Amino acid sequence: MTIKLNVKNAGLRDWELEMVKPLVETAYHTLANKTGAGSEMLGWMDLCDTYDKEEFARIKAAAQKIQDQSEVLIAIGIGGSYLGARAGLEWAFGPFYNQLPKEKGVEVYFAGNNISSDYVQNLIDIIGNRDFSVNVISKSGTTTEPAVAFRIFKELLEVKYGEAGAKDRIYVTTDAQKGALRPLAEEKGYEAFIVPDATGGRFSVFTAVGLLPMAAGGMDIDAIYRGLTDATRRYENADVMSNDAALYAAVRFLMLMKGKKMEILSGYAPSTTQFGEWYKQLMNESEGKDLKGLFSTSANFSTDLHSIGQAIQDGPRILFETILWVEKAGVDLTVPDDPKNSDGLNFASGKTMQYMNEKAMNGTLLAHVDGGVPNLIISVGELSDYTFGETVYFFWKALAISGYMIGVNPFNQPGVESYKKNMFALLGKPGFEDAKKALETRLKEVL
């Protein structure tokens, strides 16, 4: 087992966990029996057993084709259609994964997650004259941000390779039957993969949504599934004290009951920064509704100790901290000795940077706990394809239990639709004419 949860510094008394145990068990069984709100979206729970093995093989073949044909893959999607894959690539290869040599894999860049022309032009400049492919990921095919990006990069492919050549470099991941991309893929002959109906965006990274970009980038998706499978089996237990996913859900609930408003996921490895971005979507879209839930954010230590660390230490006691700690570094660099000790650092001579990072974590833990900030520790043995599969499932399971405990549907996101409707109206999308007039009047009042 490579994931461990430590709740010793959560500031809880034994009887508090015992008190909340029946609620955890009820939430767990609601999830396991698929009787709760959003139960039609639980395809992620047994994905290791139900995944489409034929499509899995096609994904690996398509990734190999991309690697053979191209130097760059542009993965187009927003929200869960890109956050998981990007988190996985950085988890496995680090934040410089596109610049560092790998045994296999192309450079993978992500588009369609914003509407910035500067960002898109930067990607075009990065591609330059090199060969590239595109994977557009959208269940509906009409989400504005990815739709705009796909138009631009599709045109670039067709100019560079011709329409017939572009066909072999465009991969579509979308709904099995409906949506704007499905008929387009069939008309043009693009290879298409499925976004399963029972798997929402933030739970989709281990479907074609995330697997194709990760495989093209060089990740071993078989190893990912081994981690996913082991975690699925490990957390099939309703007992709070022997199931770390259930225990994490219980502690999060108790933190909320004690008046905490925010959870901050603090990573000490830059390779987990994008995992923090994925975590923010998972937690906030799942729990932040009906005026309930913790506000979840992330930080990168020790970097952010020199900014928000001050507020964590001495600010209002509205938050608790969950440390994401990686026990083993990929390499062990040692601090060299300086005979003159001009920087006063010789006390660290001969020590590894991982050892120093651990002492920074320990020192911060002590300071924050002594300052009244509850702390949890989620330890991961190392950063690998396998542990990415494990860790993602751990957070999925904990979040689902936690969401049912606070009485929300963890699998929808009604609030996300509000900005889309306003944007469509202001852009003049057909069918939104009346709303456009009212919004333009409202804008004059607030701008």
CA 83 to chain centre: 5
pLDDT average, residue stretch 146-159: 96
Contact present, 71 and 132 (Cβ < 8 Å): yes
CA nearest 111: which of 120, 99, 102? Answer: 120
What's the pLDDT score for residue 413?
84
If pLDDT is split at 50, 70 and 90, which confidence band does 1 have?
low
The phi and psi torsions of 393 (rounded to 5 degrees) equal -65, -40
Report how far apart the first and last C-alpha atoms of the chain are (Å, whole number): 54
Which of 76-80, 208-212, 432-436 has the least mean pLDDT?
432-436
How many CB atoms are located within 10 Å of the residue 166 CB?
21
Half-sphere exposure of 418 (CA within 13 A, CB side): 4
Q: Residue 276 and residue 324: Cα distance in Å, rounded?
A: 9
Q: Are strands 295-300 and 375-380 parallel, antiparallel or unpaired?
A: unpaired
Contact present, 414 and 300 (Cβ < 8 Å): no
| DSSP state, residue 335 | P
pLDDT average, residue stretch 214-219: 98
Q: Residue 171 and residue 301: Cα distance in Å, rounded?
A: 37
**Average model confidence (pLDDT) across the chain:** 94
Q: Residue 146 and residue 114: Cα distance in Å, rounded?
A: 8
pLDDT digits (tens, 9 = 90+) for 328-346: 999 989 999 999 999 999 9
Active site residue 285: yes
Q: Which residue is associated with the tokens 């994931």? A: 3
Residues 6+ apart with CB under 8 A from 191: 58, 62, 170, 171, 172, 185
Residues 6+ apart with CB under 8 A from 338: 345, 346, 349
Q: Which residue in the list 191, 263, 285, 321 is annotated as catalytic?
A: 285
Tokens read off for 308 = 């928000």
CA nearest 56: which of 275, 224, 185, 230? Answer: 224
* Angle formed at CA 386 by CA 410 and CA 266, multiple of 5 degrees: 55
For residue 417, pLDDT beyond 70: no
pLDDT average, residue stretch 187-194: 95
Beta bridge partners of 379: 4, 325
Q: Residue 256 and residue 340: Cα distance in Å, rounded?
A: 52
Tokens read off for 190 = 């693009």
In the chain, the percentage of residues whose pLDDT exceeds 90 is 86
Tokens read off for 266 = 């603090």
Hey, what domains does the chain have and what are their CATH numbers? 3-35+225-406 (3.40.50.10490), 46-219 (3.40.50.10490)
What's the pLDDT score for residue 424?
78
Beta bridge partners of 300: 267
* Three-state secondary structure call for residue 105: coil
What's the pLDDT score for residue 227?
97
The phi and psi torsions of 350 (rounded to 5 degrees) equal 85, -10
Q: Which residue in the list 34, 104, 328, 420 is annotated as catalytic?
A: 420
pLDDT digits (tens, 9 = 90+) for 60-117: 999 999 999 999 999 999 999 999 999 999 999 999 999 998 888 999 999 999 999 9
What's the pLDDT score for residue 434?
76
For residue 161, pLDDT beyond 80: yes
CA-to-CA separations, 394 to 54, 67, 227, 386, 430, in angstroms, rounded = 26, 31, 10, 13, 43
How many residues in total does the chain contain? 447
pLDDT average, residue stretch 17-39: 96
Q: What is the largest CA-CA distance in the chain?
A: 75
* Three-state secondary structure call for residue 439: helix
Which of 56-70, 106-120, 133-147, 431-445 has the least mean pLDDT?
431-445
Active site residue 103: no
Q: Which residue is associated with the tokens 């860049």? A: 109
